[in-house]
Amino acid sequence: MRVSMPSGGTGLTAMTTISTEDPQFLAAIQACALALRRMADYELDPSLHRRMHALGERKEFLSPAEHEELLALVDFAHQRTMEKLEARAALARLQTALPGVFSDA
């Protein structure tokens, strides 16, 4: 399979064709897939999850500092969840666009 990619920086677009069997291309795709797989498989550290749960259980009685900590933990967990979902979607797109380049990263 060959992939055409824009090149140059002059305002004009020239297309460069790269073979999916090119070792540099394969290494780059595999590195991207590995990074995406790590993001897709991320799990919140159990101690953070326990702390967030403990704070959430008594949210009506938290000090201002604890309330701020809870909000920060919830925001952190939300962002990681969004990144996991985006990484899973990106992996699926890569696997569809480049079948056979990598099996299951």
Going from N- to C-terminal start, the domains of the chain cover: 2-97
Structure confidence at residue 1 (pLDDT): 60
Structure confidence at residue 8 (pLDDT): 58
Helix (H, G, I), strand (E, B) or coil at 14: strand
* pTM of the predicted model as reported, rounded to 2 decimal places: 0.74
Containing 84, the helix (H) or strand (E) segment is helix 64-97
- Predicted confidence pLDDT, tens digits, the chain (105 residues): 665 666 655 666 677 777 778 889 889 999 999 999 999 999 999 999 999 999 999 999 999 999 999 999 999 999 999 999 999 999 999 999 888 776 654
Helix (H, G, I), strand (E, B) or coil at 78: helix
Structure confidence at residue 17 (pLDDT): 79
For residue 44, what are the CA distances in angstroms to 30, 85, 103? 25, 14, 27
Phi then psi for residue 18, to 5 deg, are -120, 135
Amino acid at 62: L
